[in-house]
Amino acid sequence: MPASSVPSQEYERVLVAADVPVLTDLLRSDPASATAGVGGSPAVCVLVLRSTGRPEDVTACVQLLRQHGAPTDADAFYHACERADTALLGALFGRSCCCRGSVID
């Protein structure tokens, strides 16, 4: 994972809190942080698995990370499914994410 100029503990705090304004500023000043991980895990996974923020803030943060090139993986998908949040799944995998034969828009 690429290096980021943001201290790992600060980045982790922003992700766990799903702090949209701070993440927006962080990505504006350090776009590489979107693809940097926390403790060996991709940022999106940390966000989806550990965030204590409001569901709409988690989704907004995922959208911000994805817009800046953050990868997703099977772990992010699994934990998004546990949240049963179709908006989050759509943010992770785009508008044409299929679930049980229907398309999430």
Query: For 59-83, what is each residue's pLDDT tens digit?
Result: 999 999 999 999 888 888 888 888 8
For residue 96, name the pLDDT band (cuts at 50, 70, 90).
very low
Q: State the burial class of residue 26 (Cβ atoms within 10 Å of its Cβ: 0-12, 13-18, 19+).
A: buried
pLDDT at res. 62: 94
Task: Please give the model's pTM, rounded to 2 decimal places.
Answer: 0.81
For residue 101, name the pLDDT band (cuts at 50, 70, 90).
very low
Identify which of 89, 57, 68, 65 has the alpha carbon closest to the alpha carbon of residue 100: 89
User: Alpha-carbon distance 53 to 69, whole Å?
Assistant: 22
Helix (H, G, I), strand (E, B) or coil at 6: coil
The string of DSSP codes covering 89-100 is HHHHH-TT-EET
For residue 94, name the pLDDT band (cuts at 50, 70, 90).
confident
Cα-Cα end-to-end distance for the chain? 31
User: Alpha-carbon distance 29 to 48, whole Å?
Assistant: 23
Q: What is the pLDDT of residues 1-31, one digit of tens each?
A: 455 556 678 899 999 999 999 999 999 999 9
